[in-house]
Amino acid sequence: MSYTPVIGFEVHIELSTASKMFCGCPADHFGRSPNTQTCPVCLGLPGALPVPNSKAIEWCVKLGLALGCQINLTSKFDRKNYFYPDLPKGFQISQYDLPFCHNGNLLGRQITRVHLEEDTGKLLHQKNQTLIDFNRSGVPLVEIVTAPDFTSSDESSEFLKEVQAIVRALNISTADMEKGSMRLEANISVKRVEDPNLPGYKVEIKNVNSFRFIKKAIDFEITRQSKILDSGLIPAQETRGFSESKGETVSQRTKEEANDYRYFPEPDIPPLQFTEDQIETWRSDIPPLPSQIRRDLMTKFSLTENYARIIAADAQMYREFLKSPTKTTADSLINKRPPTSKPVLVSTEKISSIARAVVAANPKAVSDLKAGKQQVMFFLIGQVKKELGPVDIPLTGKVISRIIDTDDPIRN
């Protein structure tokens, strides 16, 4: 039987503001000592009051404008109520029915909404216990929600890479997926080709931090769900994670509905009002976007599409090209790109030896990784780096995966 995939996305992007969303703590949390950038507000202590970060709001609106969105002149924050250890207040300040931005379009795909919320803390699994680092708690987090407009992993990848390029062009986030500043979630269903309606279920793949992994997860889910439909059953509506070591998605929990979160207006933050002049001022600040730069490079300067994509993706290279916009300059810039400097890395044997000890010392992290919480892999790699210094990160990940799966380390 022939099926058509139905795919939509939620893209989470940490903004590179100086301070957090609702307090004055530094927002740059990556690599900092745990729980050194916290205060009563981001720890959710009684009596602490949130104060919105105006720069984060401006950047969220600018991203919405860059994505072709309409802007709500009246907006508000809401409380999204749920319990999880990394959410100290017992609720997340987010947006529900009046997001800053809505009804956009990128590459012919509908953007349903672009809203602003606060990030959660981070769970660290080590030595049979789970610790919480609240440095990330309260960092401004933009969420881009699309309509279910995608039917394949290839067109999904093109769209997601364009989102990343736009975010970087706006200079509002590094969108570095390895560091978690851009995280991907896909809602995937499958329906019969002749069925005009949306499927009555959807499966959400949570917290994927790689374009390659999200493509693998989508392809795996299409196959898995098609087989279930072939058997006469309906796939369960659930949340799943992607296991890099297994190359497949794994079940995590039953998927929540909006009413499960008991949204209501955030009582400590009054509604926000914008003017048309304010929105137009922000619109005028938006720099040329990657699609416009690529088009100009091809039409005005007769560069090939490949050259245009390379130059448009590198702001410094683009500025250098404009100083002398010729084909010769493009050749020189692209062919003379300095290779990425790499530190001297340790051998595979040493990595394997330390990785075995790390795996043995962190059974909870290993269990979480097997359950599909792929972000745990970066914790395990970090433990290896603590012992060895600079390592080949992809190789170290493969070594750890092989140890976990087969107890047989990779060798040269």
DSSP collapsed to 3 states, 144-175 = EEECCCECCHHHHHHHHHHHHHHHHHHCCCCC
Q: Is residue 182 part of a domain?
A: yes
3-state SS assignment for residue 399: helix
The answer on 217 and 131 residing in a single domain is yes
Residue 58 CA: distances (Å) to CA of 5, 63, 117, 170: 36, 9, 13, 12
pLDDT given for residue 91 in this prediction: 95
The DSSP secondary-structure symbol of 19 reads B
Q: Is residue 280 part of a domain?
A: no
Q: Is residue 44 part of a domain?
A: yes
Q: Is residue 165 part of a domain?
A: yes
The answer on 313 and 208 residing in a single domain is no
Question: For the chain, how many structural domains are there in total?
Answer: 3
* Pairwise CA distance, residues 280 & 252, whole Å: 44
CATH number of residue 380's parent domain? 1.10.10
pLDDT given for residue 98 in this prediction: 97
pLDDT given for residue 125 in this prediction: 80
Q: Which two tokens stand for residue 235?
A: 């796939």
The answer on 355 and 301 residing in a single domain is no
The answer on 400 and 305 residing in a single domain is no
The answer on 153 and 214 residing in a single domain is yes
The answer on 363 and 297 residing in a single domain is no
pLDDT given for residue 346 in this prediction: 77
The answer on 316 and 250 residing in a single domain is no
pLDDT digit of tens for each residue in the chain (412 aa)?
Answer: 789 999 999 999 999 999 999 999 999 998 889 999 999 999 999 999 999 999 999 999 999 999 999 999 999 999 999 988 999 999 999 999 999 999 999 999 999 999 999 999 998 887 788 899 999 999 999 999 999 999 999 999 999 999 999 999 999 999 999 888 999 999 999 999 999 999 999 999 998 989 999 999 999 999 999 999 999 999 999 999 998 888 899 998 886 677 789 999 999 999 999 999 999 999 999 999 999 999 999 999 999 999 999 999 888 899 999 999 999 999 999 887 655 444 555 777 788 888 888 888 888 888 888 877 777 888 888 888 877 777 788 788 888 888 887 553 333 3
The answer on 259 and 147 residing in a single domain is yes
Nearest to 397 by CA among 213, 250, 252: 213
* Pairwise CA distance, residues 271 & 276, whole Å: 17
Residue 135 CA: distances (Å) to CA of 56, 83, 119, 139, 356: 18, 19, 10, 8, 29
* Pairwise CA distance, residues 269 & 75, whole Å: 11
Q: Which domain holds residue 306?
A: 288-335
Nearest to 100 by CA among 187, 15, 42, 180: 15
Nearest to 41 by CA among 86, 91, 89: 89
Q: Is residue 203 part of a domain?
A: yes
Predicted TM-score of the model (pTM): 0.81
The answer on 376 and 245 residing in a single domain is no
Q: Is residue 276 part of a domain?
A: no
The answer on 292 and 202 residing in a single domain is no
Residue whose entry in the numeric block shows the structure tokens 């330390």 = 354
The answer on 310 and 186 residing in a single domain is no
Q: What is the C-alpha radius of gyration for the chain, rounded to an integer number of angstroms?
A: 23
pLDDT given for residue 384 in this prediction: 85
The answer on 362 and 308 residing in a single domain is no
Question: Is there a contact between 317 and 310 (Cβ–Cβ < 8 Å)?
Answer: yes
pLDDT given for residue 399 in this prediction: 87
Q: Is residue 14 part of a domain?
A: yes
pLDDT given for residue 360 in this prediction: 83
